[in-house]
Structure 1
Amino acid sequence: MIYLIELWESIRDFLSTGGDVLYVVMGALFLMWVLMVERYWFLTGVFPKLKKNIIENWEKRQDTTSWYAHKIRDAWISEADNKLNARILLIKTCVAICPLIGLLGTVTGMIAVFEVMAVQGTGNPRLMASGISMATIPTMAGMVAALSGMFFATRLEARVKRAKHKLIDSLPHH
C-alpha cells in the first residue's frame, strides 16, 4: 500500500512539474490505450467467432460460383474488414496528436519563462528553471506517448491485415 502511495506522489509531482498540458497528454494516452486494448480484444475474442460464422454461411451456400455469390462474398469480407478496421484511424490520430500536445506544453512553458523574466528579470534562475521544465517535460511526455502508441498501433494494423487475408483465404472462389 505504501508503494502505491509513493507511486501516486511521484506521478503527482511529475504532473505538477510539467504543467496542466500533461493532463491533456495523459488523457490522449489513456484514450489511445483503451482503444488499442479494445481492438486487441476484438481480434482475439470477437473476430474468430465472426470469421467462423462467415465461413459457415459461405459453406452452407449451394451457389458459390456465380457473380451474385461472389458479390455476397465480397460484401461479407467488406463488412468484416470494416469491423476489423474500426477505430484504427482514431488510434493513429491519438498517436499523431500526442507530440503536438507536448509541443503545446513547450509553448506554454516558454511563455511562463518569459513572464518570469519580464516580472523578475533574469536574476531568479529558480523560477526560470520551473518554466523551462514546464517547457521540456510535456514535449518528452508527448513523444514517449506517441512512440509507445506507434509501435503497438503498427503491430495492431499488421494483425488486422493478416486477419482479413486469412478470412479471404478461408472463402474460396469455386
Structure 2
Amino acid sequence: MTEFLEAIRDFTETGGQVLLVIGLLIFVMWLLILERALYLLIWHKNFKSAAIAEWKAREDRSSWYAEQIRQKVISRLSIQLSGSIPIIQALVALCPLLGLMGTVTGMIEVFDVMAISGSGNARSMASGVSKATIPTMAGMVGALSGVFAATWLNRMAKSERTHLEDAITIKRNA
C-alpha cells in the first residue's frame, strides 16, 4: 500500500500542481456520474412506478386539467432524471482546459530552465516537459471517459422520459 501511495506521489510531483486539480476534478466528476447511474438504474424505477400508479388511479384522464397534471408529473420526473448531468458535462469540458493549463505551466518551466542554463541542457528541461505533457494526458483521459459516461446518462434519461410519456397517456373520449 505504501508503494502505491509513493507511486501516486511521484506521479503528481512529475505532473505538477495542476495534476492534483485535474485529479480532484475527475474524482468529483466520477462521483456525480456514479450518483446519476445509481439513480437511473435503481431509484428512478420507484419514482416512475409511483407516478404511473398515481396517474392510473385518477378517474379523469382526458380533460385539459388532466393533461396539465400529466405534464407536471412528466416534467418533475424529467428534472429528477437530468439531475447533475449538466454539471457533469461542464466538468468534462473543464478537464482538457486544465490539461492545457498544465501544458502552459510546464512549458514556462522549460523556458525558465533554458533562460538560466542555456538551450543545450536537455536533462534540466526534462522536468518541465513532463510537467507539460502529463497534465495534458490526464485532462484528455478524464474528458474522454466523462464524455462516454455523460452521453450514456443523457441517452438513458431521454429514453426514460420517453417511456414515462408513453406510460402516462391521455385517455381520449371516442
Asked if 1:80 is matched to 2:77, the reply is yes
Letter in 2 for 1:88: I
- Which structure 1 residue ranges, 4+ long, deviate > 4 Å from structure 2? none
| Distance in 2 separating the partners of 1:86 and 1:74 | 18
Q: Give the TM-score normalised by structure 1.
A: 0.95
Deviates more, 1:10-19 or 1:99-108: 10-19
3-state DSSP of counterpart to 1:138: helix
Give the structure 2 partner of residue 141 of structure 1: 138
Give the structure 1 partner of residue 51 of structure 2: 54
Shift of 1:41: 1.0
- Any stretches of 5+ residues in structure 1 without a counterpart? none
Give the structure 2 partner of residue 90 of structure 1: 87
1:93-135, Cα deviation, whole Å (9 max, x unpaired): 0111100000000000000011111111124221101101101
| Distance in 2 separating the partners of 1:13 and 1:157 | 37
| Distance in 2 separating the partners of 1:167 and 1:7 | 47
| Distance in 2 separating the partners of 1:69 and 1:43 | 27
Give the structure 2 partner of residue 8 of structure 1: 5
| Distance in 2 separating the partners of 1:97 and 1:125 | 32
Letter in 1 for 2:139: G
Q: Give the TM-score normalised by structure 2.
A: 0.95
Asked if 1:64 is matched to 2:61, the reply is yes
Shift of 1:166: 0.9
| Distance in 1 separating the partners of 2:138 and 2:65 | 53
Shift of 1:6: 2.5
3-state DSSP of counterpart to 1:172: coil
Count of residues in Structure 1 that have an aligned counterpart in Structure 2: 171
- Any stretches of 5+ residues in structure 2 without a counterpart? none
| Distance in 2 separating the partners of 1:123 and 1:49 | 66
Aligned with residue 169 of structure 1, among 162, 166, 169: 166
Q: How does 1:11-22 map to 2 (within 5 A)?
A: 11-22=8-19
| Distance in 2 separating the partners of 1:146 and 1:153 | 10
1:40-89, Cα deviation, whole Å (9 max, x unpaired): 11112211111011011101111000000001000100000001011110
Shift of 1:9: 2.0
Asked if 1:37 is matched to 2:34, the reply is yes
Give the structure 2 partner of residue 24 of structure 1: 21
1:22-42, Cα deviation, whole Å (9 max, x unpaired): 011001101110000000111
Identity of aligned residues (%): 49
Letter in 2 for 1:61: R
